[in-house]
Amino acid sequence: MTAKEQQIEAAVAAGEIPGLILLATDTADKFHYERTIGSASLKPGAERPLTLDTTLTIASCTKIITTVAVLQCVERGQFGLDDDVSTVLDELQDLKILKGFEEGTENPILVPAKNKITLRHLLTHSSGIAYDFLDPNIIRWRMSTGRTPDIGESTPLLQRTNLPLLFEPGEGFVYGYSLDWAGILVARLNNISLEDYIQKNICEPLAITDLTFHLEKNDEVRSKLADFNFRSGGITQFGTPADPNGSISWTPGRVWPDPVVEEYGGWGVFTSGPSFLKVLASILRNDEKILRPDTVDEMFKDQLSAASKEMLNATLSIPEINNFLGGTPLGLQKTWGLGGLLVLEDHTTGQKAGSLRWAGLPNLFWWIDRKVGLCGFYASQLVPTGDPKSVEWSTVFIQDMYERVEGFGAQV
């Protein structure tokens, strides 16, 4: 056991962070790290240990799976990255941009969008479509139109996302429902549910048997579901913990309803850590099981316009928002690839420029580094998201994996 692994284990034992599933592997399929620490539930009288087959709510880690599904459609010639998505998603025609509110009133100023939303815009969060519950202007717009700000996932997606844009498509960056729309695009192009599409085209090639949007259809996956934990001390205006040292305890309920109304391509998957790692490893190894090599190469290219990249980096310069949106190292230049954030500079953890990475709401973090040949997954089930302690300890884990793989390579 390395010193860093001992430190992580001690942090879990002390209640500083909840139970963890820690996974990593390399390009050559020779280095493998699998570790579970702590409990799948802190519910008094119902404590149970985490195991590798524990079911996780992976939230926005779903986005890279949906991205793979969409890119498969591009490979088949069903749709182009720069095609207008409103030709299939007719709900995204005739969009308006929210420019503010008339002075002294709650009357919104809405102007027609000049640009069309392309598939590339959806995959890079440069469409102008925000999460309504995260943006104060969209919340204000909802209130001004008599609509309650909607943070309940029981509402169908097509009702949730009937929202104005925040900027011209392709000219900004905002985290939002774009990948949910991309999931609907996959379903409509193939006349099949997103669940069935992913089962056939991603799960089967990778021998994944425990991934689903629908717990109500898979009792075995549901029976292994980890509970959520909550850090006490309140929440900041950005939705992150107000007290990073607050105590952690079991919290009832789930983030998503059960059963779900529909399949959210941006946040709806349940699966185990090793199964999710199979997706990352397939991309890292460019093994052609789910995507062609040229498509994988495209995932690791800068996809943003100068204006979108500027807005992304300005957004992530605020520590609380940076923690909320992926927990990437502060001060490094970043852009968006296809499927995740692309870090443009080397980091002290050992992670190299060109690494793709992202996160999930219950403080999950993944990365793929093709230069070093390493991918990994730090998985907890802790809310609120953007937990500073989780960002800190996930960084320790990442550094430990880079040190281990370097030592492993020297031994080999």
- Residue 371: CB atoms within 10 A of its CB come to 12
Buried b (16+ CB within 10 A) or exposed e, 249-268: ebbeeeebeeebebbbbbbb
- Radius of gyration for the chain, computed over Cα atoms and rounded to the nearest angstrom: 20
- Determine the Cα–Cα distance for residues 183 and 95; give it in Å rounded to an integer: 20
What positions carry a catalytic annotation? 60
- Determine the Cα–Cα distance for residues 2 and 9; give it in Å rounded to an integer: 11
- Determine the Cα–Cα distance for residues 401 and 374; give it in Å rounded to an integer: 8
